[in-house]
Amino acid sequence: MDRKLRSLSQDGNTDNQWEECKESVKIVADEVLGLQPAIVKKSWFDEECETITALKNEARKLTLQRRHTRSSEDAYKALRRQEKRVHRRKKRQQKCQELQAIEELRSQNDIRKLYNLVNRLRKPFKPQPILVALWGQDDRNTFYQQAPALQNTGFWISSDCTRETVPATVNSENTY
């Protein structure tokens, strides 16, 4: 990564430099991490939901036009109700499938998988923020002085791609 960033052209055009930097980061990320499959957040959202949402969005565009009619507003409201009805039904079906999976695990007496699934369903998603050393900066304190909001993220990845857990620090200036 360091070699790629140092080999960037130094012409005066900032746009070209940014594009080269972006491409270098993408190439190195592909080499190091490989392609990661996309995480499906809404597994219940299928083609039926997609089509009804597209219809509702088209109806909304018609109501936003300058010369819309009462009938176009009524059509939009009807499609919105229909969309919400479909989404609720799909979510309910997904929840039933998850509960059936929990019941199967209970009947199989597979306690570890059971509690993992229960806890995953019970707890909300919490993203893990990661602080990465940029431009070869291995000194955390210097980096935190430049970006103090990133100080309490909890992780640090140095330029040699080693991950460290960083204890959260309390800024003495902000204590009351």
Q: Are 155 and 165 in contact (CB under 8 A)?
A: yes
Structural domain contains residue 175: no
The greatest distance separating any two alpha carbons of the chain, rounded to the nearest whole angstrom, comes to 68
User: How crowded is residue 160: how many other Cβ atoms within 10 Å of its Cβ?
Assistant: 10
Total domains, the chain: 3
Which run of H or E residues covers position 165? strand 163-165
Write the CA distances from 61 to 53, 55, 57, 64, 66, integer angstroms: 12, 10, 6, 5, 10
Q: Has this prediction a pTM greater than 0.95?
A: no
- Of 122, 137, 162, at which residue does a domain stop? 122
- Of 105, 122, 139, at which residue does a domain stop? 122
Structure confidence by residue, pLDDT tens digits, 51-61: 999 999 999 99
Structure confidence by residue, pLDDT tens digits, 13-67: 778 777 877 888 888 888 887 777 776 677 888 999 999 999 999 999 999 988 8
Structural domain contains residue 176: no
